[in-house]
Structure formats: structure tokens, C-alpha cells
Amino acid sequence: MGLTSQTFLLVLALIAAAVCVLALWLWPRAARKGPLALAGRVGLLVLTQVAILAVLLVAANNEFGFYSTWNELLGRASSKQVLQPGTAGGKRPPALTVKGQESIGLKGTREKAGQVDRIEIRGPVTGLSMDGYAYLPPEYFQKEHEKEKFPVVVAITGQPGVSKNLITQLKIPQVASSAIMKKEIRPTIYVLVRPSVVADRDTNCTDVPGGPQALAFFNQDLPLAVTDVYRADDAPASWGAVGNSTGGYCALKLAMTNPARYGAAAGLSADYFARQDSKTGDLYAGSKAYKNENDLTWRLEHLPPPPVSLLVGTSKNEDNYGPSLKFAQKAKPPLKVDKLVRDEGGHNFQTWREEYPVVLKWLDKELKEQAARNGGQ
């Protein structure tokens, strides 16, 4: 039974209710004098408190996504990571494998509502691998669009986290499917992944000197893998990126470092530099210059601005409110930075769920304008 499953939460709630009823029933028997009766009363109190606390902790974890699996809770690797050496000569193995389809309750057949594939990406450039999901719009399966290519948005969850949070917590494919069916946004492929390319290490989408080349994975391996298998638009600046928390930093970083691929990006509750802690290790090999290159605000102040559109999402009570305003103020043409500012909100799924419908429409608009500038549709 999964740590974040609703079934597990329901079972705990039923157990807590049963324990409370049991405590009320046994309390008259335990209300006697003597050490044994006293121990019984203490035991009943402890049992009810533990049962109720378990329900509250699991409910809080489901809402805020502190731990996604039992392995994460116990401090073990939550998924298998395989470093695969490249091959010399011969045909390159496929960089993306479709492992099956994920049922997420879309309203209709795949020709009407689209489809979510479970995927595995094996990077031919970096040798890193990652599992995730890909939402394909209904037009992808319609005969009249069978030769058409589609824009791509890469959605990146926070850290720690798993890519499934983008489906179960943030409901990105469900929101995209509904908006596409209502003709509010163009048919688009959404690739749903996590930010870390190495188990038990927060790489912050950074090419670590002598270590995992996380930025290269997102900038090179992932696009190569997606275009290998899906009818994805490969025109300049035809891709977008979006993410929350660490994923938001990654999304902004992709557009700023690879504007030829990512024409627009949105970061929700994002940092603008990669924090280093026990989970990240040394990301920069002690180099201040390299650390500056990975500071997004520093890049705006010292490097030529890329020709992309960015959106920063923040709330007035969030820690990143001030840094977000500073980041937007530093923008110079041809870079454009829009702001999505809430009076109240927080660093949590509830806030991001409310922001994503607006953000997906913003991304669609900006990518459409990029396509027009580049002579596309």
C-alpha cells in the first residue's frame, strides 16, 4: 500500500476511529485504583494519540509532498538509476522507451482526451536515465493530424519528489487535456519528470564537474529522446519548460541556457540559484565563477540576455517574493519576464494547483508567438 495512496489514509482514519471507540468503551474498566489501572489509562491515551497523529501526518504528507514513497521515508533510494555506457559505432539504441499507459481519469478516449504514456529515458549523451510520463493530446491520434508535429512542454516537479506528483498532486495532464478540448490552448505534448537525475542527490539541473551532467541531460538527452519517438516539433524555441520549487529553478535555467530549444519557461516558487546542502554535495568543485554561472540573477546582470519569455510565480508572503521582483527588474530585451503574483499562497501543492491552469495558457501564448517570429504556425 503506497505511502501517498488514499486507501492508506482511509485505513488509518478507520483505525483511529476504532481506537477512539475502543478507548471510550474500556475507560470505565480502567478507571479503577492501582498501578495496573493507571497503566491501562496511560496506554489508552497513548494509543489514541498515536492513531490520530498518524492520520494527521499522512494527510499532511499527501498535501505537501514531503515523502512520496516508503523508501524515501526510510532514507533509501526510491527508484533504480542505471548509468549506461555509450556504444562505439553501430545503431544507437532508442533513447526513450514507452513502458505502457497510465490511467488518470481523462474524460474520453485518446482521440478525444489524449493519453498518458509511462516512459523511460536513457541519455545517449550523459549516460543518465530517468523514468517519467508523457501526455499526448487527442490530435496526436486523429487521422487528420497524423503527420503533424506538436510543441512540447517539459514539466518538472520539486525536490524531493517523483514525477507522478505532477499527475496526482498538480494534475497537469488533466488540466492540459481539458484546456485542449475546450480549444483554450494548442495541442501540446507534456513531458513530466523530476529534477534529480541521480538517486539520493539533488543535482539542481547542474552539470557537476566530475559528476552527473544534469543540465546536459535536460538540454540534450531529453529532447533527443522525445523527438526519437514522438512527433515533437523540433523548430527553434518551440519547446517550453515549467516547474515548481527546484523544478521551477530548473525550468528557468533551461530557457536561459538553451534558448535555441526552450523559447519560454515558468518557475513557480522558484529559487534563482542552486542551494548547496547535504543532499546536493559540492555542485561547483569550489569554483566561484562556475557558481555564478548557475545563479540566474547573476546571469541577467553579467551575460547577454537570451531571446526568451520567462514567467516567475510568487506570493507576497513567500521567501522568494523579493528575489522574484529583483529577477524581473534585471530583465533586458530581448528577454521578457512576466510575473504571476498572489496576495496569499505558499510553497505547497494547493498554491501550485491553482497557478498551473494560468501558467499553461501563458506558455501556450508565448510559444505560439515564438513560432510566429520563427515563421511557423
174 in Cβ contact with 104 (< 8 Å): yes
Q: Which of 61, 238, 246, 268 lies closest to 172, judged by CA?
A: 268
Q: Cα(6)–Cα(10) distance, rounded to whole angstroms? A: 6
Q: Cα(218)–Cα(200) distance, rounded to whole angstroms? A: 18
Q: Cα(370)–Cα(106) distance, rounded to whole angstroms? A: 29
pLDDT band at 81 (very low <50, low <70, confident <90, very high): low
Q: What is the mean pLDDT of the chain?
A: 90
∠ Cα 263 86 294 (to 5°) = 40
pLDDT higher than threshold 70 for residue 41: yes
Select the more confidently predicted residue: 311 or 373. Answer: 311
pLDDT for position 90: 60
The one-letter code for the residue type at 306 is P
Q: Which of 158, 94, 155, 159 lies closest to 129, judged by CA?
A: 94
Distances (CA, A) of 346 to 63, 350, 362: 12, 8, 21
Contacts of 85 (CB under 8 A, 6+ apart): 127
What's the pTM value of the predicted model, to 2 decimals?
Answer: 0.79
The CATH topology of domain 92-373 is Rossmann fold (3.40.50)
Is the torsion defined by CA of 281, 283, 289, 295 positive or negative?
A: negative
Which cell is 273 given? 540559484
pLDDT for position 161: 76
242 in Cβ contact with 325 (< 8 Å): no
* DSSP string covering 120-172: EEE-TTT--EEEEEEEE-GGGGSGGGTT--B-EEEEE--SS--TTHHHHTS-H
Map out the domains of the chain as residue ranges: 6-64, 92-373
pLDDT for position 154: 98
pLDDT higher than threshold 80 for residue 345: yes
Q: Cα(161)–Cα(344) distance, rounded to whole angstroms? A: 24
Q: 76-87 burial string, b = 16+ CB within 10 Å, else e?
A: eebbebeeeeee
Least confident piece of the model among 53-67, 104-118, 154-168: 53-67
Q: Cα(264)–Cα(80) distance, rounded to whole angstroms? A: 31
* DSSP string covering 183-194: TSS---EEEEE-
Q: Calculate mean pLDDT across residues 56-73.
A: 78
